[in-house]
Each structure stands twice: as structure tokens, then as C-alpha cells.
Chain A
Amino acid sequence: MITEGLILSAILFVIGTFGVLIRRNAIIMFLCIELQLNAVNVAFVALSRSVGIDGQIFVFFVMTVAAAEAAVGLAIIISIFRHYETVNVDNFNLLKW
């Protein structure tokens, strides 16, 4: 079971990573980041079978942080959308000095 769980986790993580790197829509990229986080959660849960309950506890932490992050991230995206009327990241180069 552990092996299958880890394989699923790896597949999900790779999908998420490629999604972030390839897609240009900020919302999609955001969802892909969530996918990566949840891939890690799957790995935690799968490994908790052999290691102990700690992994499952940690999943709750990840979910909490992800929720907070989603709130801040969506707020930023909405704010950007209001300004530029688009969420295509190719149109922004704000992240520099």
C-alpha cells in the first residue's frame, strides 16, 4: 500500500509542478500549487502506515497553511485582475526591483 500511495503522490506532484511551469493563467497555477501540496499530503498519509501517526497530524498543518495561503493568494490575484483586467502571468513583470 505504501508503494502505491507514494507513486500516486509522485504523479500528482509532477502534474502540479508542470502545471505551475507551463500554464499562464494565475488561477490554474495556483490550483497546481495546491495539487503539489496535496501530493505531499498523500505521501505523508501513506508513510504514516509504517512510521506512525505523526505524518497524519502533519497533514492537518499543511491543510491549514494551504488554506491561509489560498486566502492571501486569491486576494492578490483579484487585486491584480482589478488592475490589469487579466490573470495571464505573461503580462506581469512586477516581481523585480
Chain B
Amino acid sequence: MFLTLSMLAVQGGVEADQVAGSFEPFFPALVVLLPLLGFVLNGLLALSHAKRSAAAVRAGGELQLDGPGGRPSTHTLPTWIGPGVMLGAFAITVVNFVRMLGAHLEHPVVISYWHWISTSTFTVDAALQLDQLSMIMMMIITGVGFLIHVFSVGYMKDDTGYPRYFAYLNLFVFFMLVLVMGASYPLMFVGWEGVGLCSYLLIGYWFSDREKADAGKKAFIVNRIGDVGFLIAMFLLFATFGTLDFLDIFAGAEDALVYGGGAVTAIALFFLVGAAGKSAQIPLYIWLPDAMAGPTPVSALIHAATMVTAGVYLVARSSVIFALSPVGSAAVAGVGVLTALFAATIALTQNDIKKVLAYSTVSQLGYMFLGVGVGAYAAGVFHLMTRAFFKALLFLGSGAVIHSMHEALHHTHSHADAQDMRNMGGLKKYLPITWITMWIATLAIAGIWPFAGFFSKDEIIWQTAAFGGAANAPYPFLYTIYWILALAAAMLTAFYMTRLMVMTFHGSNRTGEEERKYLHKAPAVMWIPLAVLAVLSIFGGWINVPEAIRTSFLGLGGALPMSEWLHHWLEPLTAQAHHIQEVHLGELAHSAPVGGGEVAWAVASTLAALAVVIATVVLVGGREVETADKDAAPTGFGKVLYNKWYVDEAYDAVVVRPLGKASRFSWRVIDQGIIDGMVNAVGYLARGFGWFGSLFQTGSVNTYAFVLSLGVLFTLASFLF
């Protein structure tokens, strides 16, 4: 809403006054520093809380936390600090955003604070870069982040680690902002690693549960694999350019790198490895579903709305490099579309509500990769933005459901799984707002007009077709396959999301008689963020409607206020990449591989998605669902999907176990055997020599005198002969 409204306001103003103003940044450092301040304050509170509770335990009791209003006293300050700093950061971001809207910024503004790394040949400044792309990301991070912080106040209210939770959450936002605002790859890498750390801390937030702590470790380790790719790409960039500042690299890229050459392809592919790790793409997606072990608002913020989009941001930021590498771009798009389809198939049969959403996240991230892989950087960022709205909404909605289920089950001491959709059903009566808002998000993610997801997803699929049909498209056949797979994944998305909604909210209630009484609707602190995100999920897509669709009946005959706004907004940053593309590929196509224009396909896709949604409501809704303990295990192909194509098992057999064996071999044989053996052998050898030498030390004066005489004789003899 904030985005749409403020743009509506400024769009009008700009029409009247085309003179480019100058952009005056408004305390951009504060945007970064406020969450850091929140982290420090909440962290100190968490430490003092831990100290006091440890002291209480030592004294033989337990820390009494009763405060005003039945809320523990430790919760009061974090409740204000956590969301408070986010609101502050968001407000400053909005001011900057509005100023940038009025300024027609041609070149990114780089504000340097101090020299971070300084050698004779290489300097990196601690510098923030403000431009159209980082602005969009900042708006998403602080805006959606603020809503999720507010939601957390309700969701985490009974948790004893409350201050620690907000400390981690604030720290995450800090690093995420460093990631998107840093003006060079090393600074971006700082944020990149930092968000990985916070992700680890928050997935393993309930670290006393072994399974959850392991999930955190898994996320951390899999991310490290990707980070190696990022690092190598940085080294290659440094070797080529001698600098790692965004502006210098992009300005010199076309001179230093040959189109389609080996160097640029290597850089692009290594960046892809890094991006695939952070954004959970094949083959490194396996950590994200496990990351659902964290608190649900964390899943919404980190593993849906912001952190996992860092890979997309990386590719969009490095658009010049990827545009120069057709192979790299094709790989990005291929990884993306395969992931989109693959994850969607897994989501079809999952019963854990968060697992469905997790695989859906992986799948949607695949769409973004497809978008940025076919040179549609604006479309990729567009989907990133709209999805941040509806995906955060879906996760927060599922959080509200789980919260309610958990409390109901807690009251009756039931051990049924609060996240298993088979134990839910008919919840719309108990959680009406959550029900409505989640339906909005579902329609948005399914790509149904006029919700946000329709415009962004349709744009990506259309751009894939347009790219494949370009005059000199590198591999036209490949892009036709991409296009078909993307369409198929879109249909699967419509199915599994509708299935989730039907199983959770419709049909008969399966929670059990006793528990039903305790199901409660979400409190205001939880449903208001849901409502705001729902509004954004409806209108968020309208900011980037393609001109052809805007003027057609899908855009209400031009009634929508703006066309391709995001496209134009990002133009200063994507212009160079698009220029490279145009020179080498020629004009993009204006029809789909099987004919038909943009409007026709938009109508077809929304109708198809709608048909799938309705069919699913009828089919799944008409089927009686058994509760988790009675439900029969899936068979046949369903079993393969239910077990996630056995990818975790395959990785376990192919990677984890051999790696474990290799590590054991390195430990036992190489380290303990050979290396330690060599060191010990040196010691034994010295001791042996010493023992041999000590044989000559008899202590008898005669022996010494004899040896001395022999020595004299030898010396004399050597003089004589």
C-alpha cells in the first residue's frame, strides 16, 4: 500500500514537472544503524535476562517473570525496541524513497564513510549505494520487516527467549540492509554472511531441540558451499578489474570482458553458485524446507520475503555481467525454471503447512531466477517484490493458524502435530481474518487476475518467451522448454496452494472435540499485519503492468494509473544490460512460441489458473481427509513426491556419507596416521640417535682417553697424508 500510494502521489507530480531535481539522501546510514541499535539494546536485555535466570536457577528456583498485563516483565522493552527501530528505519527509507521519486536519479548515489580495506592496489570503502534497486529492496526489507516484527510480538508472547529473539531479528535486518545497500561486492558479502549467520541463529532458535539445532547447521553449511562460489567470483572480478566497487566494475565491464568469453562466463557461473546457495535453488535448495524449524515469523521474514531473495538481488545487481554471458544467463534461467517445477511437484503432497509454503518459496524463487536469467531484471525484481507481500502473508497466516492450533492442543495436552494440515480443516470459522487474507495471498500466488502475483509471474513467463524468440537468441529451443516448464509450474502452484487452503480452512474440523473449544482467532497485533499485507497482495502488482495489458480490458482499458512503472524506475540500472542484450540478441519477440500476443496469453494463463483453483476446491474439498494418525501412507508416485524425490536421501548417500567417510579417513588415516605418525617418527628417530650416542658415554676416563688419542692420531694422519 505504501508503495502504491506514494507512487500514485508522485507519479502525478512528475508528469507536471519533468525537470530532474537532485537527490538529497536523508540520513541513509540511520536506516542501517537503527536495526543495529535495536540489536545492541535487545542483546543486552537478553544477556541480563539470561544472567538473572541463571542466578535464579542456581538459587534453586526459577526466574519469576510476571509483569503488568500477564506479560512477562522481560517482554516490555523488546516489544517497543524491536518493532520501534524497524518503524524508524522504514520511515527514513520512505523519506528517501519519496525524494528519489522526485529526483529522476540518473546515476547511483554512493556515500562513503571510511576506508574499510586499504592497500596499495586495492581499496574498499565502507560505502552505501542508494539507487533505484537498493531503494526497492530497502522498502521491502524495512516495510515487510516492520510488519513481521509487529506480528512477532503476538506470536512469540509466551516465549521465554523473547529479548534474544528480537535481538537476532534486528541483527538480521541490519545485515540484510548492508547486503542491499553496500556499494561493493565485499560489503555485500559482509551482509551476505551476516544474514546467513542470523538465519542459522533463528532456525536453531529453539536450540534445545536437537532436530531444530541440526536444521540450523544444515542451512549454515549448505550456504557455505554457495558462499565459496561467491568468493571465487569476487576473486575473478578483482583479477579482471582490480576493484570490487559496483560502479567501477559495471563501467569497465564492456571493455574488460568479451561478450560470451570464458572469464565472464566463469564469473557468472560462480555467482550463480553463490546465488543458488542463498536463494535455495537446485542443487542447494535442501536447506530451506528444513529451515522451517525456526519460529514462523522468521520463516516469513528470512526464508520468504528477504534473505532468500538475496540471490536474485545479486543477479539483478550484476545484470551487466550476466548480460555479457549468454551461457551464464541461460544457466541461471535453467536452474530457476527447473527449481520452480521440481519444488512445485514436492509441494503437491506435503502435509505440513509450513513445508508446503517452504517448497512454494523455493519454487517462486525459481521464477525470479528465470526472470533475471532471461534478462528481464525488472520482472525478476517485480516478482521479488510482489512475492515478498503475499509470501510473507502466507507464512504469517500459517503462523496464526499454528499459533491457534498449538494453543488448542496445548490446553488438552494433545501430542498431535500442530502444523499438520490433516489435523486442521474447517478453520475458517475460527480464524476468519486469517482465512480471507490467506485466500487473497493464494489467489495472488496462483497468478489470478487482478492480484499481484498475476502481473509479476505473467511478466516473467512472457519475457521468457520474448527472449527465446529474439532475433539472435542463443538457444531458442532451450527457452521454449523453459517457457513450457514455467507454465506447468504455474499450474502446479495453483493446485498445491488451493489444496493447502482447502485442507486448512475448509471441510469439516478435525482438531477434535476438546481442542475445538480453545481455537482462537488471531489477536489484533497479528491480524493487522496480515490485513496490510493482504492489501499489498491485491494492489502491489499494479505498479508494473505492461502497456499492452494496461490498455486492454485486463488493465480496465487503461484505468490503471501507470504502466511498467517498476521497469522505468529500474531503467537507469538495467539500461546497460539491456543495451548489451539488444546489440547481441537483436529485438525481442512479441509473440509466444506457439503464437498469440501478450494479452491473449495473460488471459489464457489466468483462466487456466482459475480453472485449476476451482477444480482443486471441488476435488480436494469433496474428499474426506483423515487425521494424521489415521491417514494411510501415500503409495506409488505420490510416495516419491511425499518423500521429496528422495533427494535428501540421495544427498545423504552421495554427498554426506562419503564426505563423512572421507573425513573419517582424513582424520584416522591421514591426520592421526600419516601426519601425526611423521611427527612422532621424528621424535622417535631423535630418541634412537640419542640412545645410540649414549652408548659411547661410558663415564670411564680410560675410554675417553683412548678415543681422544685416536682422534689425535687421525688428525695427525690427516696432516701427514
- The interface of chain A, by Cβ under 8 A from chain B, is 17, 20-21, 24, 29, 89-90, 92-97
Q: Is the CB of B699 within 8 A of A96?
A: yes
User: B698–A20 contact, CB under 8 A?
Assistant: no
CB contacts (< 8 Å) of B698 on chain A: these are 93, 96
Interface residue stretch chosen among B246-254, B357-365, B638-646, B703-711: B703-711
Extra contacts besides A21-B709, A96-B698, A96-B699 (9): CB < 8 Å: A21-B702, A21-B706, A24-B702, A90-B702, A93-B698, A93-B699, A95-B701, A95-B704, A97-B697
Query: Provided the pairs A21-B702, A24-B702, A89-B702 are in contact, do residues A96 and B709 lie with their beta carbons within 8 angstroms?
Result: no
Say whether chain B's binding surface is mostly helix, strand, loop, or mixed: helix
Residues of A within 8 A of B697 (CB): 96-97
Whether the pair B706, A89 counts as a contact (CB closer than 8 A) is no
Contacts of B705 in A (CB 8 A): 20-21, 29
**Residues in chain A near residue B704, CB distance under 8 A:** 95
**B700 near A: Cβ within 8 Å?**
yes
Query: Can you list 5 pairs linking A and B with CB atoms under 8 Å apart?
Result: A21-B709, A29-B701, A90-B702, A92-B700, A96-B697
Once the chains are docked, how many angstroms separate the CA of A54 from the CA of B701? 34
Interface size, chain B (Cβ < 8 Å): 10
Q: Are A95 and B700 in contact (CB under 8 A)?
A: yes
* B701 partner residues in chain A, CB cutoff 8 A: 29, 89, 92, 95
Q: How far is the CA of A89 from the CA of B702 in the complex (A)?
A: 8
From residue A20, how far is it (CB to closest CB) to chain B in Å? 5
B277 → A minimal CB distance (Å)? 62
Determine the chain B residues whose CB is within 8 A of the CB of A92 once the complex forms: 699-701
Query: In the assembly, what is the distance between CA of A24 and CA of B700, in Å?
Result: 11
Residues on B with beta carbons closer than 8 Å to the beta carbon of A20: 705, 709
Instruction: Report how far A94 CA is from B699 CA in the complex, Å.
Output: 5
Give the 8 A-B CB pairs with smallest separation, nearest first: A93-B699, A96-B699, A96-B697, A95-B699, A89-B701, A93-B700, A20-B705, A21-B706
Interface mask (B574-593 → A, CB under 8 Å = 1, otherwise 0): 00000000000000000000
Least Cβ–Cβ distance between A76 and chain B, in angstroms: 11
CA of A93 to CA of B699, assembled, Å: 4
Query: Can you name the residue of chain B whose Cβ is closest to the Cβ of A18?
Result: B709
Q: Which of B700, B706, B709 contacts A90 (CB 8 A)?
A: B700
A17 contact set on B, CB distance < 8 A: 709
Question: Nearest chain-A residue to B704 (Cβ)?
Answer: A95
CA A21 – CA B710 in complex, angstroms?
11
Contacts of B709 in A (CB 8 A): 17, 20-21
CA distance in complex: A24, B705 (Å): 12
B708 to chain A, nearest CB (A): 9
Neighbouring A residues of B700 by C-beta, 8 Å: 89-90, 92-93, 95
Q: How far is the CA of A94 from the CA of B706 in the complex (A)?
A: 17
For residue A4, give the distance in angstroms from its CB to the closest CB of chain B: 22
CA distance A95 to B700 in the complex (A): 6
Residues of B close to A93: CB separation below 8 A: 698-700
Of A29, A92, A95, A97, most buried by chain B (CB within 10 Å of CB) is A95
Those of B672-712 within 8 Å (CB) of chain A: 697-702, 704-706, 709
CB distance from A53 to the nearest CB of B (A): 26
Which B residues touch A95, using CB under 8 A?
Answer: 699-701, 704
Report the bound CA distance from A10 to B668 in whole Å.
Answer: 68
A24 and B706 CA atoms in complex are apart in Å by: 13
